[in-house]
Structure 1
């Protein structure tokens, strides 16, 4: 007797919406309208006779039944994806698919990809910088680069490098902060904050013990890239994240506003799909990326993340 399955398109809608906890984000991922996602899930709920989501004015959330069902549906799609990828000669020439944050891509990755292309000219690379959670292997990505304090259990995580924080601003703005004796008065600066950053000015202030600097107020932006651009325009002092800010420091667009740097509690990690060791080009890319990153991963101070170090 054949298995009775719900409509597969509706299951795909449900898996994406459940993973994102959003009809809108699921629609963007699947290139359909939010209305299509909503109607598809309503049809699925009617077919199953259960309620999968709680609809509220501020968004959606999975019901207990929905959360339980999602674990089975996600696993089923993962098994299909793994089985498809393991077929003989399946899309052997497809690009290496990598997901990472836009600031990381523009300020660190892209400028190094030319080196990879010189050695592996026939290997294509696809870089996705959309702000969405990547599901391995359902979404078809081979790798993801994520900023995290520690690896997540159940996935293949390889540390690339940690960040180091140092205040930065434009040369002209730095001169405006000097007192009559030539000392930099950061307490008079406008601090530029990154709303989405898990670590920002408070982490630097706590670690350095800087006094008289108000951690709140100032200018807030939603990306690290915008913070660096605002600082270069003379709008205030941003918390530079090395090595992402290194190119601006090297060009002179930004200068250090303090000699105190601290190690971030987080690090950039390369997350690999389960089958990443089955294609030679993926193994080559992973080794190359780890090699490029190795020169930036300074030894962690004995006092742990957040300890003060000399400026590099």
Structure 2
């Protein structure tokens, strides 16, 4: 007896829209237009003979039928995706999709990615920095790069590099500001705070055993990259995070203040399912990125990238989802 199924692609659109609560976010995740998502959902609703979403001025919400259908569809798609990954003798597709923490992608990965593509020109690489959870393997990502304090359960986590933190500022700010010591300098200029990270100035002062200076001239931003950019423009002193500021320090755009750098609680991790790590493409990528970090290869000198995406600590809402904001 054959299965009576709606068009499978419409189920994928429904799962994404139900999980994200938005046709637009679902479209961004699947890389199609919101109208294509809406049309696909309408096709599914017509096939089922019932509405799955309430569409109103306040946004999108699931109907009672949609609420009952969504978890079943997600489970079914997850089983199908896992079965595909487990298929014996499956040939390499030549495609690799990586969801990366935004600043790491811009400051470290992208400037060095040419070396990977030169080594493996037949592997088509997609880097995604969208701000959403990654649900392995339903979302179609092979790997994720995340900033976090420790591995989460349910996935395979490979530590890439631990973070080191050190205050940084522009050479001009340090040269033109009178101070008795570099710690004294921190009380004479604005401190640039990143509101979306846990380890910021308070953690550094505590780790150093230094009483924070009486300095209420603070600038607050929501990304690590904005803090570094602000420091380079002479707005104040930011908490530099290695390896993300290594290139700035090496080319002289930033200088350390009150160094040397000290270890942070956070690291960057390569995350995926064990099945994903069995694929040839992911094995090659993991080996390559670990070798790059081991040898501390420099990016091309003419590559400078910027990001305005938020960086938040890594967290997991269940065993198969990792935050894309980390």
In the alignment, is the contact (CA less than 8 A) between 2:157 and 2:270 conserved in 1?
yes
1:83 Cα deviation after fit = 3.5
1:244 Cα deviation after fit = 0.9
In the alignment, is the contact (CA less than 8 A) between 2:182 and 2:257 conserved in 1?
no
1:201 and 1:215, CA in 2 relative to 1: closer, same or farther beyond 3 A? farther
The reply on whether 1:153 has 2:183 as its aligned counterpart is no
In the alignment, is the contact (CA less than 8 A) between 2:94 and 2:281 conserved in 1?
no
Aligned length: 295
- Does the residue aligned with 2:261 lie in a helix, a strand or coil? strand
Residue in 1 aligned with 2:280? Answer: 280
Relative contact order, higher structure (CA 8 A, sep 6+): 2
Paired residues for 1:116-265 under 5 Å: 116-179=116-179, 184-213=184-213, 218-265=218-265
The C-alpha deviation readout for 1:26-47, integer Å capped at 9, x for no partner, is 2322333289559949x86xx6
Once structures 1 and 2 are overlaid, which stretch shifts more, 25-34 or 223-232?
25-34
Residue in 2 aligned with 1:32? Answer: 33
1:25 Cα deviation after fit = 2.0
1:76 Cα deviation after fit = 1.4
The C-alpha deviation readout for 1:108-144, integer Å capped at 9, x for no partner, is 1123323333433433322222222222112222111
- Does the residue aligned with 1:97 lie in a helix, a strand or coil? strand
1:150 and 1:79, CA in 2 relative to 1: closer, same or farther beyond 3 A? same
In the alignment, is the contact (CA less than 8 A) between 2:17 and 2:25 conserved in 1?
yes
1:285 Cα deviation after fit = 1.8
Q: CA RMSD in A?
A: 3.7
1:157 Cα deviation after fit = 1.0
Query: Gapped runs of 5+ residues in structure 1?
Result: 297-312
So what's the TM-score if we normalise by structure 1? Answer: 0.76
Distance in 2 (alpha carbons) for counterparts of 1:276 and 1:209: 44
Distance in 1 (alpha carbons) for counterparts of 2:255 and 2:211: 21
Query: Gapped runs of 5+ residues in structure 2?
Result: 297-326
So what's the TM-score if we normalise by structure 2? Answer: 0.73
1:192 Cα deviation after fit = 1.5
In the alignment, is the contact (CA less than 8 A) between 2:163 and 2:267 conserved in 1?
yes
Distance in 2 (alpha carbons) for counterparts of 1:16 and 1:215: 47
